[in-house]
Structure 1
């Protein structure tokens, strides 16, 4: 039975700076994590952000279920572009033969 997305499917590498919150001089980010295995796809999809406003997502990332990447985090994509996380969803299906993963939508 498959319990997590297989590593061989995660062909790209991204960098993640987790969003910690706002400070007096703007957003604060955690320590940068380099070379995170992921599958990155260019998309153009209208989604709701954490405040319920419609936003255009331009990248979809699939990564392992352990990825810590809250909305507002900064990602560096394989092409060098910096993207901001709009939403994060953990997909699990205990008892079913489908992989657990984290889906991240970015602008």
Structure 2
């Protein structure tokens, strides 16, 4: 079961990170996703285990394709990048599955 659509009140644009090339980072085509955005300051760990500051947290459907380092355009128009991505699942339990993205 996914997060109910009526809870996803915002829209963000995601450009999934696909790696580095000789010319810098490469991204897939941007797409829009419905989500819930909280622009609050939190301390999180990045993919290398360092403590970093996240200024936006995004709750989206479980099938979101947004690896760390992806570019994200928030509803406010601010461009940020994904620091950490957590997939919340509970197979067999009647609770919604989601993806949480902590953004810079």
Same fold, judged at TM 0.5 (above):
yes
Aligned-partner Cα distance in 2 for 1:12–1:37: 6
| Correspondence for 2:27 | 29
Deviations 1:41-77 (A, max 9, x none): 0121111111111110000000001100000000000
Aligned-partner Cα distance in 2 for 1:103–1:25: 30
| Correspondence for 2:59 | 62
Structure 2 unaligned runs (5+)?
A: none
TM-score (norm 2): 0.96
| Correspondence for 2:6 | 8
For residues 26-105 of structure 1, the aligned pairs below 5 Å read: 26-34=24-32, 36-105=33-102
TM-score (norm 1): 0.94
Aligned-partner Cα distance in 1 for 2:39–2:73: 14
What is the count of residue pairs matched by the alignment?
104
Structure 1 unaligned runs (5+)?
A: none
Q: Secondary structure at the match of 1:8?
A: helix
What is the Cα-based RMSD across aligned positions, in Å? Answer: 0.8
Q: Secondary structure at the match of 2:68?
A: coil
The correspondence for 2:15, drawn from 14, 17, 33, is 17
Aligned-partner Cα distance in 1 for 2:102–2:17: 15
Deviations 1:67-101 (A, max 9, x none): 00000000000000011000111101112221000
1:106 matches 2:103 = yes
